[in-house]
Amino acid sequence: MTSSFATFGNELYTGKRSYNFVAAKKIWFIIAAVAVAVSILVPAVKGGFNLGIEFRGGSEFTVSNVKTTSAALGEKAVHDVVSGAVPRVANVAGTTMRIQTDKLSEDETIRVKEGLTSAYGVTDNEVTSTFIGPTWGQDVTKQALIGLMVFVGLAAVLMALYFRTWKMSLSALVGMLVTMFTTAGVYALSDFEVTPSAIIGFLTVLSYSLYDTVVVFDKIRENTADVTTSSRRTFAEEVNLAVNQTLVRSINTMMVAVLPVAAILFIGAGLLGAGTLRDLSLALFVGILIGTAATIFIAAPLYAWLRQGEPELVKQAKKVAQRRADAASEAATV
């Protein structure tokens, strides 16, 4: 298996085996467009995201060291006090229960607290109550969005300076946007709660997405540095070769990045229940997979397509075609 993977790498490097990421760009772009459209439609149809208590506001109770993790007990304790309430009861981390309700009055809070204490058979100080204002999560999100915009702006400038072309910046950003929308779409679809932790995961995904693109683009930069003086391959072919040559790296990096996240998401989710780590790891898990794919299928082909029309590269492509035609005719005459 390893040997076949090594051979796979060798063949990708020499160009013996090559996947047409760049040439088949239309298919990828259509897939991406559909994915983005669905990602926008899903939350719109479903009536928005499943927002966490930090965004809705409300009261939250945490009961530790419970004897049983039955959700019905918690629901009953809330209903006994506020009959019309729709509490969300969840088991978080082993023997801890979390009960979220709409905002309760001080008196109600104390009564629910007492109810929970007797329902779960715990002592007084094992039940804690929290009141969260609805603006809290919004504040975090607002700042995160500002941060996002500043980051994207600076990253675009940084990439444009490093690669000496704004077209790489633009392609990388488009790839990142596709990642962003699709990850958000998966979040809406999965019905996971959007908590500040999920927002953090989301921001990391964007940074990862750009990071991954820069690694691949650096190889493209290397391969295409002298493309105008060579008639071996067209620009698009050089880009495609670079993507193929870094494919093994992309797969390895994705695996290494996704494995710990997957461990938290799949192993941890069972043990942890709802909470910071699970919320964060879902965003990361989805984002890393999509981010890696977006680099290969969206950012790189888009870059090739953006540059393809430049007069110098058109001339170079003609030269390549001419050389190939010559070779073909020569081969025929021999």
Partner 1 sequence: MARTGPKNTARRVLTWLGAIFVVLTAVLGGGVISGHASWAPKLALDLEGGTQMILAPKVEGSGDINEEQLNQAVAIIRQRVDGSGVAEAEISTQSGRNVVVSLPGTPSRETRALIQASADMNFRPVIAVGDGAAIPVESRTPEDQLPVPAAAPTNASDSNWVTADVVKAFEALDCVNPATDRQERSDPAKPLVSCEPSTGLKYILGPVEVKGQDITESSFSQVQGAQGSVTNAWGVNIVFNGDAASKFKAVTERLNQFYIAAGGEIGNDPKSQFAIVLDDQVISAPRSLAVITDGRPQITGNFTQASAKALSDQLRYGALPISFEIQSEQQISATLGGEQLRLGLLAGLIGLLLVVVYSLFQYRALGLVTIASLVVAGALTYLAIAILGWTENYRLSLAGVAGLIVAIGQTADSFIVYFERIRDELREGRGLVSAVENGWKRAKRTVLASKAVNLLAALVLYFVAVGNVRGFAFTLGLTAVADLLVVFIFTHPVLQLLARTKFFGDGHRFSGLSPDRLGAVPLYRGAGRLRTPTEKPAVVRARNTGAVAEAERRMTIAERRLAEKQGQLAGSSNGTKEEK
Site for partner 1 in 299-328 (CB under 8 A): 323-324, 326-327
Element (H, E) at 127: strand 127-132
Query: Contact, 227 vs 313, CB < 8 A?
Result: yes
Only segment of 3-11, 24-32, 177-185, 293-301 that touches partner 1 (CB under 8 A): 3-11
Only segment of 25-33, 35-43, 74-82, 199-207 that touches partner 1 (CB under 8 A): 199-207
Give the DSSP letter of residue 2: H
Cα gap 275→86, rounded to integer Å: 20
Among residues 91, 165, 204, 308, the one that binds partner 1 under rule CB under 8 A: 204
- Quick check: 177 binds partner 1 (CB under 8 A)? no
- Quick check: 248 binds partner 1 (CB under 8 A)? yes
Q: Which of residues 30-49 bind partner 1 (CB under 8 A)?
A: none
Query: Contact, 61 vs 89, CB < 8 A?
Result: no
Close Cβ partners of 222 (under 8 Å, ≥ 6 residues apart): 242
- Quick check: 219 binds partner 1 (CB under 8 A)? yes
Among residues 223, 289, 296, 297, the one that binds partner 1 under rule CB under 8 A: 223
- Quick check: 16 binds partner 1 (CB under 8 A)? yes
- Quick check: 91 binds partner 1 (CB under 8 A)? no
- Quick check: 110 binds partner 1 (CB under 8 A)? no
- Quick check: 101 binds partner 1 (CB under 8 A)? no
**Of 42 and 64, which CB lies nearer to partner 1 in the complex structure?**
64
Q: Which of residues 273-302 bind partner 1 (CB under 8 A)?
A: 275-277, 280-281, 284, 288
Cα gap 233→127, rounded to integer Å: 69
In this structure, the number of other CB atoms found within 10 A of the CB of residue 46 comes to: 12
In our burial notation (b when 16+ CB lie closer than 10 A, e otherwise), range 50-74 reads bbbbbbebbbbbbbbebeebeeebb
Among residues 90, 200, 306, 308, the one that binds partner 1 under rule CB under 8 A: 200
